[in-house]
Amino acid sequence: MNPNNTDYQSHLKSLLELYDSLLSEHHFSGLVIPSGVPKTVFLDDNSYPFKVNTHFKALLPVTQVPHSYIIYQVALKPILVFYQPEDYWHVVPSDPEGVWVDFFDIKIVRGTDDWKQFVPKDCDKLVWIGEEQPGRIEVGINTINPDELLNPIHYRRAVKSEYEKSCLRVASLMAARGHMAAKKAFYAGGSELETHLAYLKASKQQEQYLPYGNIVALNEHGAVLHYTELQSQRFSESDRHSFLLDAGADYHGYYSDITRTWAYRDDEFKDLIVTFENLQLEILDELKVGGSYVDLHINCHYKLADLLKETGFISCDASTAVESGITSTFYPHGLGHLLGLQVHDAGGHQTTATGEITNPPAAHPFLRLTRNLESGYCFTIEPGLYFIDMLLEKLKSTAHSNHVNWSMIERFKKYGGIRVEDDVILSDEGVENLTRDAFALLQ
């Protein structure tokens, strides 16, 4: 499952060929890609957790090396300026090692300005890709993050190489281990904080290196889409109802993003979870190369409308429920998003390599992916069903309020909501479900 030398070499070669083509087309000579620098808290001497430049980790699986740089000239071996300071206050990055080291001309430096000596002389033809940093203007690099380069790079990112697929599989397995441990902690009576810590231990991750802040929601907290409070309060046996966990993992800079929902006891909410998971599986069965992700999202709303009627939450037909916005009250977010070097990977609305955008439908503004699906795409499928007070109150004030079983809604509010999220890779041969494959390996 782990990436091998051949797959990495092919991945790097393909990326550099893309860069060569774009640089030559637009009359540039090369790239300077900084890893990034730590950001210091205002009026403090502590830094925020370091997050590497996405374009840096796209080229090599190194994520915790601030003040480092990749310098690339067309058709030449890329230079890695590797910052390894003399420092007894902090852990210094270890010597470079791994499948990637033979493919870079590695220069070890001790000072944060030492990278400048390796910048080619024709700086006016170089492109800087990354956040603004001191030194860019000083060395004469005038072009930063041009759309004519970034648009095709981001568009291409949706299609994953074999190396990237291997990284995504490992990230999924790491997260699946964490989910299973958190589930066990929930049924043992753990608080949100305790289940979160169980997740970290099992997935072998430090909190600051997670792809995103874990959503660890007990009971009605599941109705907050990005709930990250991590309360330490334990609930009594009678007050434990549900658990929604949205948590991923990072492997070589590639992310997983998995959500599962559990009921504490065999009750009506557990039955609803089973019914809802079948809905998600139906959506997965409809995935195909060339298919419209927008259509999948809208179709999911119709499926949800049927589910809401069959389970007694609403009384109207599916068309009325979708067109009136009733389903958006229960399901206000999008079906999913591209996944890879970012949790919400770049290019989700970008429908051409030159940068043209297809916005989501007006009725579904939070849909993050509007492209037709192609072989090699990695993305998530994550429908939801929530009982959100703010949205329910808005629905109650409309003419469609009479279609809703409000007493049933009140009964289910204590559960918060349901989300089931899988990470998948689409190909001409079908769908590889990274999430369910990972859970299966751990059974």
Q: What is the CATH number of the domain that holds 56?
A: 3.40.350.10
Question: What is the rounded CA–CA span in Å between residue 100 and residue 312?
Answer: 56
Per-residue pLDDT of the chain (443 residues; tens, 9 = 90+): 677 889 999 999 999 999 999 999 999 999 999 999 999 999 999 999 999 999 999 999 999 999 999 999 999 999 999 999 998 888 888 999 999 999 999 999 999 999 999 999 888 899 999 999 989 999 999 999 999 999 999 999 999 999 999 999 999 999 999 999 999 999 999 999 999 999 999 999 999 999 999 999 999 999 999 999 999 999 999 999 999 999 999 999 999 999 999 999 999 999 999 999 999 999 999 999 999 999 999 999 999 999 999 999 999 999 999 999 999 999 999 999 999 999 999 999 999 999 999 999 999 999 999 999 999 999 999 999 999 999 999 999 999 999 999 999 999 999 999 999 999 999 999 999 999 999 999 98
54 and 167 together in one domain: no
Regarding beta strands 384-386 and 417-419, do their DSSP bridges make them parallel or antiparallel, or are they unpaired? antiparallel
Angstrom distances, CA of residue 8 to CA of 160, 223, 342, 378, 420 = 12, 41, 19, 18, 32
One domain, residues 140 and 168: no
Maximal C-alpha separation, the chain: 73
Token reading at 20: 């060569």
Q: How many domains would you assign to the chain?
A: 2
Percent of the chain that is helix, strand, coil (3-state, to 5): 40, 15, 45
Q: Is the pTM of this model over 0.85?
A: yes
Handedness of CA 303, 305, 306, 311 (dihedral sign): positive
- Its domain, for residue 266, covers 162-441
d(CA 140, CA 441): 52
**Pairwise CA distance, residues 408 & 149, whole Å:** 53
- Chosen domain end from 156, 177, 211: 156
* Cβ-based neighbours of 6, under 8 Å, separated by 6 or more: none
Q: Are residues 305 and 320 in the same domain?
A: yes
**Residue 245, H or E segment:** strand 242-247
If asked whether residues 231 and 380 sit together in one domain, one would say yes
Q: What is the Cβ-side half-sphere exposure of residue 267, based on CA atoms within 13 angstroms?
A: 13
Same domain, 129 and 194: no
Under DSSP, the state recorded for 292 is B
Dihedral angle sign, alpha carbons of residues 305, 306, 312, 316: positive
Instruction: Single out the residue in 103, 134, 156 at which a domain terminates.
Output: 156
Of 314, 287, 282, 321, residue with least CA distance to 300: 282
Encoded amino acid at 442, one letter: L
Residues 191 and 124 placed together within one structural domain of the fold: no
